[in-house]
Amino acid sequence: MPAVPDPSGHYGPFGGRYVAETLIPPLEELTAAWESAWADPTFRATLRGLLEDYVGRPSRLYRARRLGEQLGCQLWLKREDLNHTGAHKINNCMGQVLLAKRMGKTRVIAETGAGQHGVATATACALFGLPCVVYMGEEDTERQRLNVARMKLLGAEVRPVHSGTKTLKDAMNEALRDWVTNVRHTHYCIGSVAGPHPYPLMVRELQAVIGEETRRQLQAQGVELPAAVVACVGGGSNAMGIFHAFRNDMSVMLFGVEAAGEGLGTGRHAASIFGNQIGVLHGQKTYLLQDKNGQVAAAHSISAGLDYPGVGPEHAWLNDTGRARYLSATDEEALEATRALALTEGIIPALETAHALAALPRVIQFTGRDAHIVVNLSGRGDKDMETLVRELSL
Amino acid sequence: MTSENRLDQVFASGRKVLVTYLCAGDPSPQAHLPLFQALIDGGADVIEIGVPFSDPGADGPAIQQASERALAAGASLEDALELAGRLKGDAARVLFGYLNPFLAYGYERLARRCAESGIDGLLCVDCPPEEEPELRDALRARGVYPILLVAPTTPDDRVAAIAQAGAGFLYYVSMTGVTGAAFAGDEALLRRIARVRALAGLPLAVGFGVATPEDAALVARAADGVVVGSALVRIVAEQGADSAASLGALTRSLRLALDFEID
């Protein structure tokens, strides 16, 4: 695979820096600071130490025999749900907040959907003693109120966003407005492989540890390479994190799973790659749900973390080059997959993660039966218990 | 060709240029024409016609809500273009918006429709000079000027590069922030404006937070023009379709402040 992005942050026709001029020089500064930090062995060693001692890495690779047998594959789960704070999001936040400190920034802001990135940012800020403001759509503050309470307990200020669709996209708009106002002393910690360059690159590099570990752990189990790697895709950071180490192993099929919401035919979904319309939002050119006038459409998913009308530009590129395939799973399928994993393996996944599990029967159609398949178990389901109580009549 | 562009005439007039903004389709595409006409009749030299967008990331609450009202009333880029064609007077017409509606419309078609509608310039907030050269090429080929932003964070060497990619005038953002934020006009701002103006080689209009005749007069001491948006949009928020008289009154007082440099 050709290396992406190019120096200007483009992934083929996708990516770039579509922001107001005020943010261009700060993005250049951030790019330079990131490149210097990432090339600095001391920064890398500090981050590695934090990931090991604080986050609990490496996360386990678990052989899920019962669910695998049921489905007809050799199933491996990369247990990002066992990380401190319960999801992969912390990998990125430790790196970005460490970078913010190094850049001399005195304040950190973030957007959050499900609240996992907000919690992870608040956690990193508590650890480093930095004030933290998290923007969260009003609708999400209601369906994820346990995470709102966690962020508050961690010392963060949670600002509900009342504009637009009151979900993740509007939280990101509001975070960008804060950043453009306070850019001289504030670092904006974006939670996915989305936004203007260098964010998609930086977040990918910080999450790539997931795939690097998975590769080593499989080999230690005698599996040279898996047949397929599967992850859910909203913005797409957990997927990019596990895909990246396998990008040049062409025998490994990469599957991203978008949220099909109430069904792809209903229009109430969050499957932007499926939607196949190129657009520009939040500083990036990518696949974007929109109407014929270029107004951004409301996404829908039962999982707040996938409820985003765009997708990280590298996923758009992986789709167009054919290197990765993108499938989807509905709300209902995700709920069924949640129950299946709980009953067969005693693990309650996040609703986001459940979309990846729900797509496994279709993945097996590509790999054939009995193949080694890795699912990135990106987060745990505690935060979704209220939704699960309601939807599964518990 | 270029001499036919009203922006050239406006900035060659010798007077301080008054640039005014309203969002097309606010409060509705049926009611917006007299509001924009009131700006021209009140003495504005350049009319910025805002194209409503679902995600106006660079705008403060006033213009966000204007955009929401316009979209709720069914407004689109087509309404903004049609409006431009129906305005009377010599004021220059500038489309002001975000990239995605332009991208969805198609750059060639957009440039053609701009030319047909008497649009003199187009400012795309989230499209810096590094991105989408196709858009600027399409506009220039039809005699429509791409107008670019310069910000307080823009380093000196970048100002010249931006000016190269733009035409007509440069829009200087008075502060790091969103539209409609509190104005911070002081000597430091005037020094920055003078510095950017010297580097740019294009006329400079200054906006973001400029709300009152006093603000406008202060900025005009250093700039070629001033941009007032949110203060006008707030009138439409309050008075809706009946805003024309109040819009005209504010525009006239801004005009007076610039002509006589009331300070």
Whole-number pLDDT of residue A335: 98
What is the arithmetic mean of pLDDT over B228-236? 98
Whole-number average pLDDT of chain A? 97
Its ipTM equals: 0.96
Please report residues of A whose CB lies closer than 8 A to that of B151. Answer: 20-22, 24-25
What mean pLDDT comes out for the span B33-59?
Answer: 98
What pLDDT is attached to residue A232?
98
CA B72 to chain centre: 23
Give the C-alpha separation, B170 to B180, whole Å: 19
d(C-alpha B94, C-alpha B207), whole Å = 14
Cβ contact, residue pair A180, B77, below 8 Å: no
Q: What is the DSSP string of A192-254?
A: SS-SSTTHHHHHHHHHTHHHHHHHHHHHHTT-SS-SEEEEE-SS-HHHHHHHGGGTT-TTSEE
Tell me the average pLDDT across A106-110.
98
The verdict on B101 touching A (C-beta cutoff 8 Å) is yes
pLDDT of residue A165: 87
Q: How far is CA B181 from the centre of its chain?
A: 16
The pLDDT of residue A2:
80
Confidence of residue B184 (pLDDT cuts 50, 70, 90): confident
Nearest to B105 among A8, A25, A294 (CB): A294
Contacts with A17 from chain B: Cβ below 8 Å: 128, 130-131
**Residue pLDDT, tens place only, B149-165:** 999 999 999 999 999 99
Distance CA A113, CA A110 (A): 10
pLDDT > 70? residue B2? no
Digit-coded pLDDT (tens) for A347-379 = 999 999 999 999 999 999 999 999 999 999 999
Using a CB–CB cutoff of 8 Å, tell me whether B125 touches chain A: yes
Cα B187 versus chain centre, distance: 24
Confidence of residue B122 (pLDDT cuts 50, 70, 90): very high
Tell me: pLDDT of A63 over 50: yes
Contact residues on chain A for B152, CB-CB shorter than 8 A = 22
Please give the average per-residue pLDDT across A77-82, as a whole number: 98
Q: In 10 A of CB A52, how many CB atoms?
A: 11
The 10s digit of each residue's pLDDT in A273-289 is: 999 999 999 999 999 99
CA distance A56 to B173: 46
**Which pLDDT belongs to residue B3?**
57
Each residue's pLDDT tens digit, A216-249: 999 999 999 999 999 999 999 999 999 999 999 9
Whether the predicted pLDDT of B101 surpasses 80: yes
Q: How far is B127 from chain A (nearest CA, A)?
A: 5
Query: Rounded distance, CA B55 to CA A170, Å?
Result: 7
State yes or no: pLDDT of A144 exceeds 90: no
Element (H, E) at B48: strand B46-50
**What's the gap in Å between the CA of A283 and the closest CA on chain B?**
7
Classify A151 as helix, strand or coil. helix
Q: Given this model, what pLDDT does residue B35 score?
A: 98
Give the per-residue pLDDT at A187.
98
Give A242-276 pLDDT, tens digit per residue.
999 999 999 999 999 999 999 999 999 999 999 99
B-chain residues near A279 (CB < 8 A): 100, 103-104
Indicate the burial class of A223 (C-beta count within 10 angstroms; 0-12, 13-18, 19 or more): middle
B interface test, pick of A6, A11, A14, A22 with most B CB neighbours within 10 Å: A22
First and final CA of chain A: distance in angstroms? 47
Residue A206: partners with Cβ closer than 8 Å, 6 or more residues away = A91, A92, A94, A95, A96
Structure token digits, residue A170: 């509007």
Helix axes B77-86, B32-41, angle to 10 degrees: 50
Asked if omega into B29 is within 30° of 0 (cis), the reply is: no
Structure tokens at A362: 């279709």
Q: Distance between CA B102 and CA B227 in Å, rounded? A: 22
Give the contacts of A77 (CB within 8 A, at least 6 positions apart): A61, A62, A64, A345, A347, A374, A375, A377
Nearest alpha carbon to residue A296 among A304, A305, A284: A284
3-state secondary structure of A283: strand
Inter-residue contact B197 to B179 (CB < 8 Å): no
Roughly how many angstroms between the first and final C-alpha of chain B, as a whole number?
A: 38
Q: Which of A8, A17, A19, A21 to mutate to test the interface with B (most CBs of B within 10 A)?
A: A21
* Cβ–Cβ under 8 Å, residues B88 and B77: no
Q: For B129, how many CA atoms within 13 A lie in the half-sphere containing its CB?
A: 18
| Cβ distance of B100 and A280 shorter than 8 Å | yes
**Secondary element (H or E) of residue B21:** strand B17-23
Cβ separation A18–B178 shorter than 8 A: no
**Cβ contacts (< 8 Å) between B71 and chain A: which residues?**
295
Comparing alpha-carbon positions, the chain A residue that sits nearest to B153 is A22
Tell me the β-bridge partners of B68: none
The reply to whether B184 touches chain A by the CB within 8 Å rule is no
Q: Average model confidence (pLDDT) for chain B?
A: 96
Residue B1 has pLDDT above 90, yes or no: no
Which candidate in B68, B100, B127, B196 is best for mutational testing of the A interface (most A CBs within 10 A)?
Answer: B100
* pLDDT reported for residue A190: 98
Chain A interface mutation, best of B53, B55, B79, B147, highest count of A Cβ atoms under 10 Å: B55
Check residue A209 and give its pLDDT. 98
Under 8 Å between Cβ of A211 and A241: yes
Has residue B262 got a pLDDT over 60?
A: no
Residues of chain A with Cβ-Cβ distance to B131 below 8 Å are 16-18, 285
Torsions phi, psi for A280 (to 5 deg): -125, 125
CB contact under 8 A, B57 and A176: yes
Find the catalytic residue in B8, B26, B45, B48. Answer: B48
Interchain pair B128, A288: CB under 8 A: no
* Token pair listed for A374: 């890795």
Q: What are phi and psi for residue A348, nearest 5 degrees?
A: -100, 110
Say yes or no: B102 contacts chain A, CB-CB below 8 A.
Answer: yes
Q: b/e for A229-250, b at 16 or more Cβ within 10 A? A: bbbbbbbbbbbbbbbbbbbeee
Tell me, yes or no, if B68 is annotated catalytic.
no
How many residue pairs bridge chain A and chain B with CB atoms within 8 Å of each other? Answer: 119
Work out the number of other CB atoms within 10 angstroms of the CB of residue A109.
25
